[in-house]
Every structure is written in structure tokens, then in C-alpha cells.
Amino acid sequence: MRYTEYVRLKTGRYQSVGTFGETIYAYEVLTGITDSPEYHQISKDEFDSFETWAQENISDLKKMYEIINRPVICSGYLGKEELDTSLFRDL
């Protein structure tokens, strides 16, 4: 599955959450000078609570910091376009 198959379901500032297929939940953040998308796996509960943790103050980024420190499952960068299922975790 390619990063272009991501379905954006909820949006925030420079970020969103959505799915790959019907069961893989992901957090999308735009990175770099070209705003290339980068995807991190999230749980269904994290997807459901996106509106809460996406509004965290910059000084209190607990949930968002935890998520962006997870492995990148795919991105818009050359060589990372395919979903890497070996990085999936039980969430």
C-alpha cells in the first residue's frame, strides 16, 4: 500500500488522522521545506480522541510527542512511499 492511499478523516493545523484501508489508523504530519507527509501508526482510541490531543499547548505535547516518536510507517519521501508493515505495533 502506498502513502497516496491514505484517507484523511480528521484535520488539524499541519496534521491529520485517517486510515490506510479499513483497519490501519495513522497520524499524518507535514514535514520539511516541501511539507511532505509522514505517517505514524495510531490506535483507534487515539484516532477517536484526536480533537483533544491535537489541541495540546506547545509546552505540554505529551500525546503528540509520543506519536511522532513512533516509527514512520511510510511518507512522501523518495524510498519511503510504501507502507512498512514490519513497523506496526499492537496499539
- In this prediction, residue 19 carries a pLDDT of 97
Give the model's confidence band at 33: pLDDT under 50 very low, under 70 low, under 90 confident, else very high.
Answer: confident
pTM greater than 0.75: yes
The domains of the chain are located at 3-82
Task: Please compute the mean of the pLDDT values over residues 4-28 and round it to a whole number.
Answer: 94
pLDDT of residue 32: 82
Model confidence pLDDT, tens digit, residues 65-83: 899 899 999 999 988 999 9
Q: What is the Cβ-side half-sphere exposure of residue 34, based on CA atoms within 13 angstroms?
A: 7
Residues 6+ apart with CB under 8 A from 50: 10, 12, 17
Percentage of the residues of the chain whose pLDDT score is greater than 90? 59
